[in-house]
Structure 1
Amino acid sequence: MDRTMSPQQQWEKVKSRTTKIIRSYSIDYVDWRTKTIIALEKKRNRLLRTRPPPAIKVQLIPPIDRQLATLQQELAEIAILKSGIHWQEKGEKNITYLKAIHKKRTLQQSMPGFQDPTAADPTEVHTENTSMQMIVHNFYQKLYTVDPIPLEHIQAYLDTITFDPQVSEPDGQRLQQPFDFDDIVDMAKRCPKQSSPGSDGLGYTYLHMLYNLPCLKNFLIRVYDDALRQGIFPTSWKEIRIRLLPKKGNLTDLKNWRPIALINCDAKIFTRLLTHRPAPLMTTLINPFQKGFVKGRFIGENGMYVHLILQQAREEHHPGLGLLLDQEKAYDRVLPVYLLEVLRKMNFPESIIHCIHQLFFNNSVRINVNGYLTDTVHQERGLRQGDPLSPLLFNIALEPLLLSIQQDPHYQGYLPLNGNASLRVKCIAYADDICAFVKDVEDLGRLQYHMTQYNRVSNSKFNQGKTEAFSLNGGQSSSWSAILRSQHIAIYHHKYSPSAFRYLGFYLPYTIHQRDQIQRMLLEKLRTHFNIYSQRQLSIRGRASIANLLILSRIWYYMRIFHPTQQFLKEVRSLTYNYVWQKKFPYVSMDRLTLPIMQGGLGLLNPPTQHLQLQMKWLFLIFQQNNTVSPFQEFLLQHVGRISSDPTHPVLPFFSVPLQHHSLLHPTSIVPRLFAAFDYLNISFKLDEVPLSQLLFFPLTNMFQPLPSNHWLHRYPRLPASSFLHFDSSTNRLRLKVVHEYTTLPRLFRRLYKDILERRSVKLQEFLWPHITQNTTIALPPSSSMTISPLLSQLTTSTMWSKFCPRTYCNHRNSLHSSSPSQPSQINLQYFWKTPIPLPARTVWYRILLHKTPNSDALSKCGIVSSATCRFASLMLTPSPTLWLTVPVNGQYG
């Protein structure tokens, strides 16, 4: 190695030589495989032609077959990689494989043609490759060229915004510490092996091998240290290749293609290491209304924000409006000098700012157009999509706009009726997807002012034509319609719109009609995919895996804030069952299929239960007991508190069934599903510290000791205790209601009355009897107060809550309330599923283990055959052993 070369030049030379060696070896090795396969096949044929004795044949042929299989598998894997399909067949339980078999080559592999916006006829589509390259080159050269902005204008804009908190001095020092070599090696090891390499062609696997060579350690440390501290990089780090991926819309328009940067893997290791350092600081540096790419923040919170605001605004008849803002090429228009000034305002160290500036800007870019690279484009602005650090940098670049809106005292946004100032919501964002709320025309003017000021200093551009507006109260306002038309905003959503609008992919219906339309669309989507995957010949285990992870997963995202009808969930359940069981006779219950695999089921998700499980995210936020409350969490608690009409105890409706009725609980509201999810936990609360008069607000099931699993009360978990018990305020006593006092379920309550007093098959909680049989002498809290703290403590310490597991949540009700079917014979189920049985045979054997084959016993019950006795059993003198079962003489498996 030439010692006069810099560490960066030495590293480039090592990579260049490594690439040449790999390519040369690969060509020779592929050729060697082909020649070896031919030689082995000839050797095998010669052996077979000699007709050797069986003993010799068994010894010589299998080793040759194994070598042939290994080489042919390697060639198949290479062909798979060349075809652009990154999957390998590892059996029917591999979901990636199952999905890939139906995957079609997408449009990004071939670009049909582009329009030239500078041509005399901008609608003409050019399909010649040379013309397409020129159009792409000119488009991106213009996109990546800076529109100069005076530095003093940027600084004046940022001076009007308060950035608090900022990067502290200790945090700044940690950001600048040199990378440890072990961290570099570990990062290379942890990066995905299938990631596309950059211009040097070296993937993470090869880099990990190079990084483990002791002779390269010292100058590798210098390469990464110089990059961090001085902003000096290997030349290949600034040579970017771009692959265009299609978005929605007209694909002859280059604006509808997303440029993904293919960066060298050694450079991505550096940016991954760099990203890990400021990432923990983003939770404080980025305002809580920005949910994108910040650890601990969840995209669903923004969807829930809009959902709750729509529910409250409907009740309040709020006159406001919501706006879904659209930025044109948001990442590609970020101005370097603006981004650097924002970093300085946040007090990032100068060395880190210099490093980011040198790495992300003034790069050489070439775009791949149908396999051909365009001429070099000089990138003066824009963040490269595909780099791990880009999302954090974009959040920082967008932060001044969000802060300017949040800090504007004249901007009202949405404030709940009688709510305090901390509940005010002006705008929320997920990366560049911004949703702004305006109360009136003055608010709209303030919003446009902030957008204009931000555009003027950042080179960003808002697209009014793609901006969408939606009514907060659902009504259609003629005044708002006129204002929106004057602003060139064509889309205005309200309750009279033909369909619901979407924000971040979440459907947000105003009316039952819009909700039903969403349900029909989702059902049609599920039917289509079930039909597609039905063409694949899979075992029942494979179909269950497909249903869980590839088909039903398409609707779970929407279901977090969507309240479907029970009929919809039943239809989803029916579609899932029919796809998995394939209408085989005899039928097996859906409860059996939803059991865990090691309990004889298939682990199939039950749609109604899964929908409840998705609401646990919101329940944890509601019942979270800590000192730090996010704005969204405070807003959610306020919403629930409005239902209880008791701001001191906002969670009261979860414990008190009669309080679960309010005008806020519209059929489209998700809150009733939160109550149902809470009830499904089936936690038995000790109510001995609750005032007697308040006991009647709790579910009736809580008044009893554990009930039999088949008791009818399990079907009515939300039935209030007041329907069966009465509180006499004059004597401060409880009593059982008598026949003429039953307003609901009189027949069942008469039976319950007898079960308690006569049959003694049902027992009340022990603490209740003294309040029924005699006057209460115990000092009780005032009847108007509710003691919630003991109940909250019981909730948070219960096993179902403190050790919450989605799978346990989905299965525990089966174990509690259903007559669980017996285990399918005394079989080692793990051994059964791992045994390499042909797929059609596996399904048959699973049905045999469940006793769900059309044998004589099952057919006789349906009247198809006259006798339940197996026609072969009478021929046996002793039980006949099979693979897993023994056919008994009395003929149960005929």
Structure 2
Amino acid sequence: MYIIITKLLANRLRLVMTNIIGDEQMAFIEGRQLCEGVIIANELIDEAKRKKHSSFVLKLDFEKAFDRVSWSFLDYIMMRMGFDATWRKWIMECLQSSLLFVLINGSPTRQFKTSRGLKQGDPLSPFLFLIVAEGLNGIISSTVNNNLFEEMEVGTVDNDDSHFSHIQFADDTILFGKALEDNIWVAKCILQIFEVASGLKINYSKSRIYGIHTEKDWLKKMACLLNCNVGEMLFKYLRVLVGGNHRRLSLWQPLVEGFRKKLLKWNRCWLSFGGKLTLLSYVLSSLLVFLMSVYLAPKGIIKILDKIRREFLWGGQGESRKINWVKWQQVCRNRDEGGLGVKDVTPQNLNPETRQTPCTRERIMIYISNLYSLYKMASLLTRHSPCFPVLGIAS
């Protein structure tokens, strides 16, 4: 009965999430996709580098985010968003009805009630967490509006600079700002205030600060102030490398290594041809989909990945080689065309422009139009090197 009730509440809450959650949040909301945050973060960093603006990027890691949510803070944010008392009462009753027990030496303890946190797997939990995370969005926006925090300055449109402060994907948050010590102090205050109010604690040992056109000594000093570590500009956000040149083969090396690690496990056992085909189609090929929805893979990487998949399909156990009985192009054709239905990973078939929904393309275009109008002007596109999805959207 509990699951039915929470599912009904989640379905109703889903209808208003677009209106109550800011555009900076990309998670769990219809029309917003995982790749948006990666694309926008990469473009912001690329533009700051190109304009030689002294900036910092603070990548935050929350400690056990769902388990630390304060119910009183959630109720307060919902009240500020305009939810009536009846709806808030329903939500609180769902949260307070949870009973837990602990296994000690295999034996369960007496059940006890929880006083904070959201249950993993609950249909309501993702939406309730976004409402809590919107509190951080509100604090950051308030400091920006009151000129307490100077955002990252990117691009120039008719001599009018555009600014960006942060992006979020659930608890995966990146803060952008000018490389000023006052900014770091304000950022630290923001995070401390949000921790006290919401219960969400920053894990500073896993958080990283990155500098763009900043001195190393200044960056180390700011890292000590925040009690976090200094990171290299090429870093992972949502499991995709951000801040590097996607045309370089080194950016794609983790993907190639991921392929090889999978094959090391599978090559130790005997697999039928049908088993190999299934693993090839539904496991290896799926590793490519998200990354190639963000970046255009170099031709050299495509050849390497095709070679790995081809050798796995036709090869024997271990390192032994077998004859490729059918051309790879034929293998990648659809079954109704005489092929085996293996996904072709060439850029033409995994074109990010065609993979993104019109809604996603429109949202990204709004961000990019705020960055600068160069992407809208076909005559100027040859002067700049935006990442592949943006180039496709703008054209």
Fold conserved (TM > 0.5)? yes
SS in 2 for 1:288: coil
- Structure 1: which amino acid aligns with 2:70? L
The alignment status of 1:441 with 2:167, answered yes or no, reads no
- Structure 1: which amino acid aligns with 2:210? F
Match 2:31 to one of 296, 315, 318: 296
Q: Which has the higher contact order (CA 8 A, sep 6+)?
A: 2
Contact 1:560 1:611 in 2 (8 A): no
1:72-100 C-alpha deviation (Å, 9 max, x unpaired): xxxxxxxxxxxxxxxxxxxxxxxxxxxxx
1:394-431 C-alpha deviation (Å, 9 max, x unpaired): 11122122122123321221232324889532111111
Q: Distance in 1 between matches of 2:118 and 2:161?
A: 34
SS in 2 for 1:493: coil
TM-score, with length taken from structure 2: 0.86
Residue 661 of structure 1 corresponds to 382
- Structure 1: which amino acid aligns with 2:77? V
Q: Distance in 1 between matches of 2:372 and 2:272?
A: 46
- 1:373–1:558 distance in 2 versus 1, CA, 3 Å: farther
Contact 1:327 1:461 in 2 (8 A): yes
SS in 2 for 1:435: strand
Contact 2:244 2:251 in 1 (8 A): no
- Structure 1: which amino acid aligns with 2:336? M
- Structure 2: which amino acid aligns with 1:328? E
SS in 2 for 1:455: helix
The alignment status of 1:550 with 2:267, answered yes or no, reads no
The structural deviation recorded for 1:299 is 1.6
Q: Distance in 2 between matches of 1:422 and 1:291?
A: 24
- Structure 2: which amino acid aligns with 1:326? D
Residue 758 of structure 1 corresponds to none
- 1:617–1:478 distance in 2 versus 1, CA, 3 Å: farther
- 1:558–1:270 distance in 2 versus 1, CA, 3 Å: same
1:692-745 C-alpha deviation (Å, 9 max, x unpaired): xxxxxxxxxxxxxxxxxxxxxxxxxxxxxxxxxxxxxxxxxxxxxxxxxxxxxx
Q: Distance in 2 between matches of 1:313 and 1:519?
A: 23
- Structure 2: which amino acid aligns with 1:510? G
Residue 334 of structure 2 corresponds to 596
- 1:362–1:459 distance in 2 versus 1, CA, 3 Å: farther
Match 2:210 to one of 461, 467, 470: 470
Residue 263 of structure 2 corresponds to 530
Residue 670 of structure 1 corresponds to 387
The alignment status of 1:306 with 2:45, answered yes or no, reads no
- 1:545–1:462 distance in 2 versus 1, CA, 3 Å: same
Contact 1:366 1:375 in 2 (8 A): yes
Q: Distance in 2 between matches of 1:595 and 1:640?
A: 41
- 1:349–1:559 distance in 2 versus 1, CA, 3 Å: same
The alignment status of 1:635 with 2:356, answered yes or no, reads no
Match 1:506 to one of 231, 240, 255: 240
Residue 359 of structure 1 corresponds to 94
Residue 456 of structure 1 corresponds to 196
Q: Distance in 1 between matches of 2:41 and 2:229?
A: 21
Residue 520 of structure 1 corresponds to 253
- Structure 2: which amino acid aligns with 1:573? D
Contact 2:155 2:371 in 1 (8 A): no
Q: Distance in 2 between matches of 1:531 and 1:452?
A: 45
Q: Distance in 2 between matches of 1:368 and 1:606?
A: 48
SS in 2 for 1:294: coil
The structural deviation recorded for 1:587 is 4.0
The structural deviation recorded for 1:468 is 1.0
- 1:533–1:476 distance in 2 versus 1, CA, 3 Å: farther
Residue 225 of structure 2 corresponds to 486
1:653-695 C-alpha deviation (Å, 9 max, x unpaired): 6xxxxx5532x32xxx532x766x79xxxxxxxxxxxxxxxxx
- 1:460–1:520 distance in 2 versus 1, CA, 3 Å: closer
Contact 1:331 1:394 in 2 (8 A): yes
Contact 1:593 1:602 in 2 (8 A): yes
Q: Distance in 1 between matches of 2:323 and 2:215?
A: 54
Contact 1:307 1:561 in 2 (8 A): no
- 5 Å-filtered alignment, 1:440-839, equals 440-473=180-213, 477-494=216-233, 500-510=234-244, 515-534=248-267, 535-539=269-273, 541-582=274-315, 584-585=322-323, 587-609=325-347, 612-617=350-355, 620=358, 630=363, 632-637=364-369, 641-642=373-374, 650=376, 652=378, 660-662=381-383, 664-665=384-385, 670-671=387-388
Aligned positions, number: 384
SS in 2 for 1:464: coil
Residue 728 of structure 1 corresponds to none
The structure where strand makes up a greater share of residues is 2
Contact 1:331 1:384 in 2 (8 A): yes
Q: Compute the RMSD of aligned alpha carbons.
A: 3.0
Unaligned runs of 5+ in 2: 316-320
- Structure 1: which amino acid aligns with 2:74? L
- 1:335–1:315 distance in 2 versus 1, CA, 3 Å: same
Q: Distance in 1 between matches of 2:381 and 2:157?
A: 21
SS in 1 for 2:16: helix
Match 2:8 to one of 273, 277, 282: 273
The structural deviation recorded for 1:312 is 0.6
- 5 Å-filtered alignment, 1:845-856, equals none
Residue 318 of structure 2 corresponds to none
- 1:370–1:275 distance in 2 versus 1, CA, 3 Å: farther
1:307-347 C-alpha deviation (Å, 9 max, x unpaired): 10111111111111111112222222222222112111112
The structural deviation recorded for 1:652 is 2.3
- 1:555–1:585 distance in 2 versus 1, CA, 3 Å: closer
Structure with greater Cα Rg: 1
Residue 253 of structure 1 corresponds to none
- 1:619–1:477 distance in 2 versus 1, CA, 3 Å: farther
- 1:328–1:584 distance in 2 versus 1, CA, 3 Å: closer
1:476-507 C-alpha deviation (Å, 9 max, x unpaired): 5321222212321123223xxxxx31111111
Residue 390 of structure 1 corresponds to 125
The structural deviation recorded for 1:527 is 2.1
Q: Distance in 2 between matches of 1:652 and 1:619?
A: 22
- Structure 2: which amino acid aligns with 1:366? F
Q: Distance in 1 between matches of 2:83 and 2:359?
A: 33
- 5 Å-filtered alignment, 1:859-874, equals none
Residue 848 of structure 1 corresponds to none
Residue 55 of structure 1 corresponds to none
Q: Distance in 1 between matches of 2:390 and 2:270?
A: 38
1:101-146 C-alpha deviation (Å, 9 max, x unpaired): xxxxxxxxxxxxxxxxxxxxxxxxxxxxxxxxxxxxxxxxxxxxxx
- 1:674–1:447 distance in 2 versus 1, CA, 3 Å: closer
Q: Distance in 1 between matches of 2:182 and 2:335?
A: 60
My pick for the range that moved more, 394-403 or 526-535, is 526-535
- Structure 2: which amino acid aligns with 1:565? P
SS in 2 for 1:469: strand
Residue 171 of structure 2 corresponds to 432
Q: Distance in 1 between matches of 2:357 and 2:29?
A: 22
Contact 1:544 1:603 in 2 (8 A): no
The structural deviation recorded for 1:637 is 4.2
Q: Distance in 1 between matches of 2:297 and 2:194?
A: 40
Q: Distance in 1 between matches of 2:133 and 2:348?
A: 36
Q: Distance in 1 between matches of 2:338 and 2:35?
A: 35
The alignment status of 1:417 with 2:149, answered yes or no, reads no
The structural deviation recorded for 1:298 is 0.8
- 1:652–1:380 distance in 2 versus 1, CA, 3 Å: same
- Structure 2: which amino acid aligns with 1:412? E
